Chains A and B, each alone.
Chain A
């Protein structure tokens, strides 16, 4: 238990020691969400909301509901990518010193969850300052799921690719998935969309933001996707720690 706590505290301290990073984590979601909120014209568009079908909504609201998970996904994804790579050298030494690999993985996962939580709370906080959603807690949960899923994907990318390639994937990944594939402006669901990580949490997010009802099934599918991803990342990370 003490290894878990120490490694977790080390990871959190590494973040807390860099005030620029903390300021960016707070400022960048504000920038992304507010830019879109301000530049959108005051017009209405027809959107396809999972639980209700076609409905008319303010363009500003649609853009804000779309960009909030993007902000959380970028923060979570970048945290996952850099966390796994910067921690690997330290964690390798911890493993050699006898620390339990499962505890090390759990501690790093804990830091990632914390970063995703901060990114989600900040993003939803900004959204709440400019509009109100129908089911705030469900919406926050959906955004947290997006941040965690992209945090896991960032970590996975960090295990497989170098940082330059990882950043490039993060530049396009959330944009393709959240902004294009899961957009409620589309006529029909793209064939790839149901397999992308943002599919179920974005359904949950749009239901929670624009209607009074949500479909719990989207939560269960999101959690299942997250569990599989966490398992793959955990195994990959643990494999990297193996001391033979």
Chain B
């Protein structure tokens, strides 16, 4: 027997279930609200202890606040994406068997990640705006929402390929922290390989939003292309493995 529902109903049910699962643990909600200010102010404070090294474009404290904002907006959705997919794997398999289209399952999981992304982006930008003048709030918000979505997808991708909490978390931690350290501005590197990391181009666009300059079209295009590739790859892998029970674990 298959479930016959309009597709909008299916999406709503899937999204409701994903959101409920997340908010059932108050600590998850607390994380969304508490961590942005803690991480951003800690970042700014830690980097204030650095001297202004020749390759730094601005004073280290401001550099830290900007980088911290970008990171907190990116990585909380990543962790949520990872755990959403892992914890919902069996439910998604059953829903898929019951006739839920794989696209609806994917969109409902991604929808929950996007809700967290929008909330984190708004909070992060709000915290940054208390210490740093952000010249273009709209572009800043869009960039933060984009990196949240991008890393949310990466979290989902890792969770689909490695649907076990320890293994998936280990991979996510290493991927995130290499990107975090390279994009932080604490160390100088002009190696071409760094351009392959997810935060490279969004970092340039976000800095333009803070400075009030027009972002380079090539950076915007590269970031959008990166996002599109990650979206398609995650969808294909998710529909091939998670929703149909093909993932190991």
Contacts and interface: CB of A to CB of B under 8 A. Distances in A.
Interface string A168-197: 101110111001110101111110110000
Nearest to B182: A39
B186 A183 contact: yes
A39 B183 CA distance: 12
Interface in B1-42: 25, 27-28, 31, 35, 39, 42
Interface in A47-81: 59, 63, 67, 70-71, 74-75, 78, 81
Contacts of B53: 45, 185
**Closest A-B pairs by Cβ, 7 of them:** A39-B191, A180-B46, A82-B166, A190-B49, A186-B49, A187-B51, A167-B169
A98 interface: no
B170 A41 contact: no
B164 A24 contact: no
Given A63-B187, A183-B50, A168 B170 contact: no
Contact of A40 (B48, B187, B248): B187
B106 to A, nearest CB: 20
Contact of B49 (A25, A170, A188): A188
Contacts of B169: 78, 81-82, 163, 167, 170
A36 B191 CA distance: 10
Contact of B181 (A36, A163, A190): A36
B58 interface: no
A35 B197 CA distance: 11
Interface residues of B, number: 49
Given A18-B167, A185-B53, A180 B79 contact: no
B74 to A, nearest CB: 10
Contacts of B49: 181, 186-190, 193
B102 to A, nearest CB: 25
A163 B167 contact: no
B113 interface: no
Nearest to A193: B49
Given A41-B191, A185-B51, 12 more contacts: A20-B162, A39-B194, A41-B190, A70-B177, A78-B173, A161-B27, A171-B75, A171-B173, A181-B49, A185-B186, A187-B49, A193-B49
Contacts of A162: 25, 27-28
Nearest to A15: B166
B45 interface: yes
Contacts of A75: 170
A190 B51 CA distance: 12
B178 interface: yes
Contacts of B181: 36, 67, 175, 179
B31 A168 contact: yes
Given A40-B189, A82-B165, A164-B80, A24 B177 contact: no
Interface of A: 18, 20-21, 24-25, 28, 31-32, 35-36, 38-41, 43, 45, 59, 63, 67, 70-71, 74-75, 78, 81-82, 86, 161-165, 167-168, 170-172, 174-176, 179-181, 183, 185-190, 192-193
B26 to A, nearest CB: 10
A175 B177 contact: yes
Contacts of B46: 176, 180-181, 190, 192
A12 to B, nearest CB: 15
Nearest to A181: B46
Contacts of B82: 167
Contacts of A67: 181
Contacts of A171: 75, 79, 172-173, 176-177
A31 B27 CA distance: 32
Interface in B29-78: 31, 35, 39, 42-43, 45-51, 53, 71, 75-76
B170 to A, nearest CB: 5
Contacts of A189: 49
B217 interface: no
Given A165-B28, A186-B49, A41 B188 contact: yes
A86 B35 CA distance: 25
A185 B177 contact: no
B50 A164 contact: no
Nearest to A82: B166
Contacts of B45: 190, 192
Contact of A168 (B79, B186, B193, B194): B79
Contacts of A81: 169
